[in-house]
Amino acid sequence: MRRDLAEAVPDIAWPTGIQLTQYRTELAAAVHHLMELGYRDGGGRVPALTLWQRQFETDPEYDPSLCFIALDVNGIVAVCQCWTSAYIKNLVVHPRVRRQGLGRALLLHAFKVFQQRREGFVDLKVLEDNLRARRLYDSVGMYAVRREPVPV
């Protein structure tokens, strides 16, 4: 899916008690754990922590300032991991804080950051049967640009 960044991005309404930070090595285990939790019901998978961290931190498109992490009083509750190519690699929200607008807020934040970087579009991939995610992406102005078969 794609979001045209020439279009205005709405103001961000952050849920109460949320603090935004960026990725740091000392947060790797907690970020990894949230990704495992988020993908437990399907839609993706995450390699073991050591491999995931090495792949993530050495990727040519890695920039820690593009990995947005939302925290509340209990720890990390959401991650929006983006690449320098204006691509959203992962968006995961902890089940206990879903349906509070956090995923939407992180997406809008990413759009604004990429607008500041003078990108034209932001892209991501989503499985066609992930209706909850697709509804979220539709609600922030994203649209389908290409369909790819899912390997079985």
Asked if residue 151 has pLDDT above 90, the reply is no
pLDDT of residue 132: 87
Q: Which amino acid is at 11?
A: D
Q: How far apart, in whole angstroms, are the C-alpha atoms of residue 39 and residue 8?
A: 31
C-alpha–C-alpha distance, residues 122 and 103, integer Å: 15
Euclidean distance between CA atoms 6 and 68, whole angstroms: 22
Residue labelled with tokens 């804080």: 97
Instruction: Give the C-alpha separation, 144 to 2, whole Å.
Output: 6
In the predicted model, is pLDDT for residue 124 greater than 80?
yes
Residue 149: predicted pLDDT: 66
Average pLDDT over all residues of the chain: 92
Residue 25, SS3? helix
Q: How far apart are CA 123 and CA 29, in angstroms?
A: 26
Position 130 confidence tier, pLDDT thresholds 50, 70, 90: confident
Segment 104-121, tens digit of pLDDT:
999 999 999 999 999 999
Best CA proximity match to 7, nearest among 132, 133, 114: 114
Q: Tell me the per-residue pLDDT of 33-58, one tens digit each, with 9 for 90 and over.
A: 999 998 886 667 889 999 999 999 99
1 — pLDDT class (breaks 50, 70, 90): very high
Q: For tokens 């922030």, name the residue.
A: 140
Query: Which residue in 108, 91, 73 sits closest to 34, CA to CA?
Result: 91
**CATH code of the domain occupying 2-139:** 3.40.630.30
Average pLDDT over residues 74-88: 96
Per-residue tokens: 150: 């899912």
Residue 31 CB partners (closer than 8 Å, separation 6+): 23, 67, 69, 76, 79
